[in-house]
């Protein structure tokens, strides 16, 4: 079953946002710099999440399709014998 692209990407973006925000804050940067870095990192993480989930979904669907084709081919071979 394919994964939901949007929910995975949003989750990755939120985690990245807070992670980078806290790291920047503990580094002693100004709040504006922390926020700007966190937003930029969240955008990149969201885009990477979308691409990653789409790639995983393509692999999973391809494997499911080839499995179904193999199963049908075996069933057709058994009924011809």
Residue 28 domain boundaries: 5-80
- 54-74 confidence digits (pLDDT tens): 999 999 999 998 988 888 888
**DSSP per-residue codes, 28-47:** T--HHHHHHHHHHHHHHHHH
> Structure pTM?
0.75
Count of alpha carbons within 13 angstroms of residue 25, beta-carbon side: 9
Residue 76 has pLDDT above 90, yes or no: no
- 10-64 confidence digits (pLDDT tens): 999 999 999 999 999 999 999 999 999 999 999 999 999 999 999 999 999 999 9
Domain count, the chain: 1
In the three-class reduction of DSSP (H, G, I as helix; E, B as strand; rest coil), residue 70 is classed as: helix
């Amino acid at each position: 079953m394919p994964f939901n692209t949007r929910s995975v990407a949003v989750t990755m973006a939120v985690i990245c946002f807070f992670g980078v925000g806290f790291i920047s804050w503990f580094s002693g940067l100004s709040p504006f710099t922390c926020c700007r870095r966190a937003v930029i990192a969240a955008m990149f993480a969201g885009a990477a999440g979308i691409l990653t989930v789409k790639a995983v979904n393509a692999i999973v669907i391809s494997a499911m399709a080839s499995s179904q084709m193999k199963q049908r081919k075996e069933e057709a071979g058994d009924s011809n014998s």
